Amino acid sequence: MSQIQTSAKEVENTSMRNISTTRGNKRQAVGSPPVSPNAEDIVTRANIREIIEDVLKTELSRALSDFDDRMKVLLNKELQPINDKISGMEASLNFMNNQYEDLLKEHATSTEAVRELQKENSEMKTTMSSLKTRLEQLEQQTRSNNVEIQCLPEKKQENLFNIVSELSKTVGCSIENKDILHCTRVAKLNPEKNRPRSIIVQLASPRIRDQLLASVINFNKSNRDNKLNSMHLGFAGPKTSIYVTEHLSPTYKSLHASARLKAKELGYKFVWVRGGRIFMRKAEESEHIMVKNMDILKKLS
């Protein structure tokens, strides 16, 4: 601003000197019109004002331009680290965004794979359950000719074929020796129990097996006070009840035991086995229930 004021003063002094010396000592021509003594001064001052304004505008514009350039340089210098940091942050954000997009794609792929695996697992469970049921049924069918004699006392050098034949005669079922294919005692599930080992008898056909079972049931009904026991077969010692049942596979035997416990708990009067299938009935007038698995027992009330 001082430069601008100095330049303005110089212009003004120069103009004033020119005004004061211009035709100052010359006489006015004869017959010429009178001239106003302040006319030149008024015009000159207007010109000076214009000159001063022009100079001021020029100098101010130059000063502002210099100030603007200096400020730009200063700001660029000060802001350069910030710009560098922002550029680094943008690069990091772009990298993280790309990583996030990749993770989203991997997550979508994994989710779809898990969904497919869950579907396959569910199908496999259904298939395995079906195969398990069929295997258990087949295992039970292999025992369709067999009966199991429980609680029959053991003795040394016993002849199981003769014992089975004597039992059939006692209950009124005529079984020939050719109808008895195989007899054997099986190991106890719990060796610590004193209960005699059961006898598995393989008969010639399911029909003969059913005849023997029916004869045992009828015998017990006819002799409610003296059901089939060891004394009927000539065993000495305490009288021991003898039970003749269908030969169940381990799975169905466990299910039958659970059914008896459930019946005792809920007050069901009847639990029986027919053709390898387990049935329950709460009372004589009640509808029977076929127990296929443990889920059915859990639903009973």
Note whether 210 and 236 are same-domain residues: yes
Same domain for 259 and 235, yes or no, is no
Give the separation between CA 301 and CA 297, rounded to whole angstroms. Answer: 9
| Domain's final residue, options 247, 266, 288 | 247
CA distance 183 to 198: 10
* First vs last C-alpha separation in the chain: 107
**164 and 223 co-located in one domain:** yes
CA atoms 29, 30, 33, 34: torsion sign: positive
**Same structural domain, 188 and 262:** no
In a domain, residue 197? The reply is yes
The pLDDT confidence band at residue 61, using thresholds 50, 70 and 90, is: confident
Same domain, 190 and 261: no
Range of the domain at 253: 248-301
**Do residues 219 and 161 lie in contact, with contact meaning Cβ atoms separated by under 8 Å?**
no
Q: Supply the pLDDT for residue 301.
A: 78
Residues 203 and 276 in one domain: no
Report yes or no on 185 lying in a domain: yes
Tell me: do 217 and 292 sit in the same domain.
Answer: no
Residues 196 and 262 placed together within one structural domain of the fold = no
pLDDT value at position 5?
Answer: 47
Question: Could you tell me if 270 and 256 are in contact, meaning their C-beta atoms sit under 8 angstroms apart?
Answer: no
pTM: 0.61
Give the Å distances, CA to CA, from 195 to 9, 80, 152, 154, 226: 138, 97, 9, 10, 21
Amino acid, single-letter form, for residue 32:
S
Rg (CA), the chain: 61
Point out the domain boundary residue: 225, 247, 269: 247
Residue 171 domain flag: yes
Residue 176 in any domain: the answer is yes
Handedness of CA 248, 252, 255, 256 (dihedral sign): negative
Assign residue 185 the CATH number of its domain.
3.30.70.1820
**Bridge partners, residue 244, by sequence:** 149
The dihedral over CA atoms of 102, 106, 107, 109, expressed in degrees to the nearest 10, equals: 140
Report the number of distinct structural domains present in the chain: 2
My answer on whether 204 and 238 are in the same domain is yes
Strand bridging mode 199-203 / 277-281: unpaired
- Tell me, yes or no, whether 160 lies in a domain: yes
Q: Is residue 262 part of a domain?
A: yes
CB atoms within 10 A of CB 93: 10
* Residues 254, 182 share a domain: no
Token pair, residue 112, equals: 């779809």
Return mean pLDDT, the chain: 84
Both 229 and 281 in one domain: the answer is no
Question: What region, left, alpha or beta, does residue 287 occupy, with left being phi > 0 and alpha being psi -120 to 50 degrees?
Answer: beta
Helix/strand number for the chain, H first, E second: 6, 7
Residue 51 located in a structural domain: no
CA 219 → CA 69, 147, 157, 203, 279, distances in Å? 124, 16, 28, 20, 21
Q: Could you report the per-residue pLDDT of 77-122, keeping only the tens digit for each?
A: 888 888 888 888 888 889 899 999 999 999 999 999 999 999 999 9
Judge whether 33 lies within some domain. Answer: no
Among the three residues 222, 247, 272, which one is the final residue of a domain in this structure? 247
pLDDT digit string, tens, across residues 159-199: 999 999 999 999 999 888 899 999 999 988 788 888 899 99
Residues 236 and 277 in one domain: no
